Structure 1
Amino acid sequence: MAAAGVFAVGMMGTTLPTPLYGLYRDELGFSELIVTVVFAVYALGVISALLIAGNFSDVVGRRPVLFLAIGLSALSAVCFLSEAGLPLLYVGRVLSGFSAGLFSGTGTAAVLELAPEERRARAGFAATAANMGGLGLGPLVAGLLAEYTPWPLTLPFAVHLALLAVAFTMTRLLPETVHHSGPRPPLRLQGLKIPPEVRGVFAPCALTAFAGFAVLGLFTAVAPDFLAKTLGEHNLAVVGAVVFSLFCASTSGQLLMTRVGTRNALPLGCLILVVGLFLVGASLLAQSLPVLVVGAVIAGVGQGMAFRAGLTAVSSAAPDMHRGATISAFFVVAYVGISLPVVGVGALTRALGVADAGLVLAGCVILLVAAVGAHLWRRPPAVV
């Protein structure tokens, strides 16, 4: 689907810097804490966009918001291409966060609404797969280009600009799915607005997304440094491939959700995620790359299964006129999970080191996921 392709290209740009942080650190001389802060600034940009403009596409239409998201992503790439120091890295990440925030809610709603009714279930997979697939392609493409071309800090963003131009053209061809029978409602700042009929479903599903995205944050912000400093793995293509394996496994977990069913996928995804996190913790203790990759794959399957089940439950429970806003609120909680724990790990790294800080985060997420999974097993959301 064209809308899914646009969504994937947009999300790809948000993780392009992941394997490049070590190069920026060497060039600019900042610490691991600054790496996590740069990463968290992106997440704050996502959350801000979701809180401010999460419902804009419900009012002005999906296509105008997608155009804006593509433009912000292009501006972010330009900031990284300029290589003008740490302040512009912050600006580039904030712009990338704004873009991702707009893509998350609007892209998901567009993919769902453009699909025929009989293919709505497949469209749900296409939307979440485009999200996670795009996030996974970013580190893989950037790692390969940075390792095997002479322009490690420029070519990844130049390639993404070219892909954004293709996405812009594809968006122009997409039909608009938002139509108002009367006068168009005025634009209002959304805030964190959840329709009353969705709240019973929203809370456990959003907590699951929070925990799963904390795992994604652990890998995208900390794993590259762990691979370089602890395992001595400096090949950027390998770093990108390890992070890609997590997101690729997440996409596989989303596909498995249809076989398991939404009701069972929520607690089962939590269980699989816990197993994967135990292996990730074991890899940090044993300093083993193979165990880390296996843990990443298993954790990714669990995260993807639970994430898609939660998003499916929330989007199906949301009324049509508030679907974009509800999905945006769901992603707000998820991106809080990807930002706050990562900054905590960055701060702990200064006192404990990368491996021990990663162990602390893994332990905390295990406790949260286990508690949420037990609750979902006893009391699954009524909508599913």
Structure 2
Amino acid sequence: MSPQISPTVSFAGLATVFAAFFFAAGAPTPLLSLRQQEWQFSAGALSIAFSIYALGLLVALLIGGSLSDYVGRRPVMLAALYGELASMIVFLIAPTITWVIVARALQGLATGFATSAFSAAIAEQAPAHLKKLAGGLAGASVAGGLGIGALLTGAAVQFTPDANTLIFTILAGVMVLAIVFVSFTAETAAKQPGALRSLTPRLGLPGNVRGEFAAGIPVHIAGWMFPAFFLGLSPVMLRLHFTLDGGLAAGFTAFLGPFAAAISSFVFNRHPARRSTLVGTSLTLLGTIVVLLGISAPWLPAVWIGAALGGIGFGASFGGQLRLLAPHIQPHQRAGVFSGIYTVAYLAFGIPVIIAGQLVPVLGLVPTLQWYAAAVIAVAVPAILIQVARLRRDTAPAPGPAHSIA
């Protein structure tokens, strides 16, 4: 029998490996801007290269979201790592934007299969005194990994002669080490029959959460459209509107929102879920308005301030929505409910950016960016009003017993 790593080391290591998936997902943002200059492809192709990742991730979540419950965590984690390694190799050798789109699609699929398996394994490997931290750590790994990946890759674009080779060679090496590490972690889920049946996409919403789920849809749409703007459209905005070609500016702009979201997810975790959702959505609205002003002025520091504000709001609102639903979900209902949440989230993350990319040649860059921001505002305002109404309902005093009049 091969030696196994202790649960404490496994917990820390798996969280690090999970973050590496999203570091790799954030890395292409400044590189895509560089490739657009070199290969001269359209803004529409750039938006597809970004968004195909989210759509691939969504497909994998819908198909394989509960697969690790049946075949075990480790086989799914290893399969996801091999898929991620393959995508890093394609990124490394890609000669055209078509190959980059293939790599992004493969990366999205790998990350989708990784998401549920790693999230569950991290929670199951966590020592007792860190169980509460596990969920927040998994969420912070997503946002923090995206932001840090974009920032460090932007620095590599700025200061090294071949950032693409450097970044994806390192990431390929990280995935190889991760495969070795995960191979020695203990299995935390017993195998059970039904693996093939589990691949049928299911969006199960128990009756007791449907109202809350529906009320959260505009929150998710506004929240996820906001970081998608910076990860998918900011490279074009910086290059053509602010005339900045440097990778560091692209990386920093993409970094601010996700990193702020990672920090705020921990901070707001201590506050009531409804208030976190309401405050977070309000900050997303405020951040979008500030970004819109920065684009229209034009004044780049306003865009950065808005990115931070909206990122804080995204982390607070998404975490708040998850905490509003979680207490009402039975263990056997989790996969279906979370599939529903992430279906809304990743459609909002991917589809609007594709539409915006196709509109740039028609409307022009700045009007397209302004319309995108206006769409976020148009969704955020009713989202706030709905949450205010539900907060009032939550805090309304229960009606007392009726008194008869003698």
Q: Above 0.5 in TM-score?
A: yes
1:44-81: CA deviations, max 9, x gaps?
21121112112212221222211111111111111111
1:197-249: CA deviations, max 9, x gaps?
54344333344223211111111111111111111221101210111111111
Which among 204, 207, 215 is matched to residue 194 of structure 1?
204
Deviating more after overlay: 9-18 vs 183-192: 183-192
- Map 1:1-384 to 2 at 5 A: 1-116=12-127, 119-179=130-190, 183-188=192-197, 189-196=199-206, 197-379=208-390
Deviating more after overlay: 276-285 vs 259-268: 259-268
**2-side partners of 1:379 and 1:293: how far apart?**
32
Maintained 8 Å contact 2:157/2:246: no
**1-side partners of 2:105 and 2:15: how far apart?**
23
Q: Which amino acid aligns with 1:167?
A: A
Maintained 8 Å contact 2:292/2:373: yes
Partner SS, residue 69 of structure 1: helix
RMSD: 2.0
**1-side partners of 2:214 and 2:75: how far apart?**
30
Q: Which amino acid aligns with 2:331?
A: D
Q: 1:204 to 1:121 in 2, by over 3 A?
A: farther
Percent identical among aligned pairs is 29
Number of residue-to-residue matches in the alignment = 380
Maintained 8 Å contact 1:206/1:310: no
TM-score normalised over the length of structure 1: 0.92
Maintained 8 Å contact 2:205/2:336: no
**2-side partners of 1:377 and 1:101: how far apart?**
33
Maintained 8 Å contact 1:19/1:224: yes
Q: Tell me, which stretches of 5 or more residues in structure 1 are unaligned? A: none
Q: Which amino acid aligns with 1:5?
A: T
Q: Which amino acid aligns with 1:249?
A: A
Greater Cα radius of gyration, structure 1 or 2: 2
**2-side partners of 1:102 and 1:59: how far apart?**
14
Maintained 8 Å contact 2:34/2:247: no
**1-side partners of 2:278 and 2:323: how far apart?**
14
Q: Which amino acid aligns with 1:184?
A: P
Partner SS, residue 379 of structure 1: helix
Q: 1:203 to 1:80 in 2, by over 3 A?
A: same
Deviating more after overlay: 158-167 vs 333-342: 158-167
Maintained 8 Å contact 2:24/2:171: yes
**2-side partners of 1:262 and 1:134: how far apart?**
24
Q: Which amino acid aligns with 2:154?
A: G
Deviation at 1:162? 1.8
Maintained 8 Å contact 2:83/2:106: yes
**1-side partners of 2:245 and 2:276: how far apart?**
37
Q: 1:325 to 1:174 in 2, by over 3 A?
A: farther
Q: 1:175 to 1:315 in 2, by over 3 A?
A: farther
Maintained 8 Å contact 1:46/1:98: yes
Deviating more after overlay: 330-339 vs 193-202: 193-202
1:236-263: CA deviations, max 9, x gaps?
0121011111111111221221232212
Q: Which amino acid aligns with 1:126?
A: L
**2-side partners of 1:96 and 1:291: how far apart?**
32
Deviation at 1:103? 2.5
Partner SS, residue 233 of structure 1: coil
Maintained 8 Å contact 1:55/1:328: no
**2-side partners of 1:135 and 1:230: how far apart?**
24
TM-score normalised over the length of structure 2: 0.88
**2-side partners of 1:187 and 1:176: how far apart?**
20
Q: 1:11 to 1:122 in 2, by over 3 A?
A: same
Deviating more after overlay: 91-100 vs 156-165: 156-165
Maintained 8 Å contact 2:203/2:340: yes
**2-side partners of 1:70 and 1:184: how far apart?**
24
Maintained 8 Å contact 1:145/1:152: yes
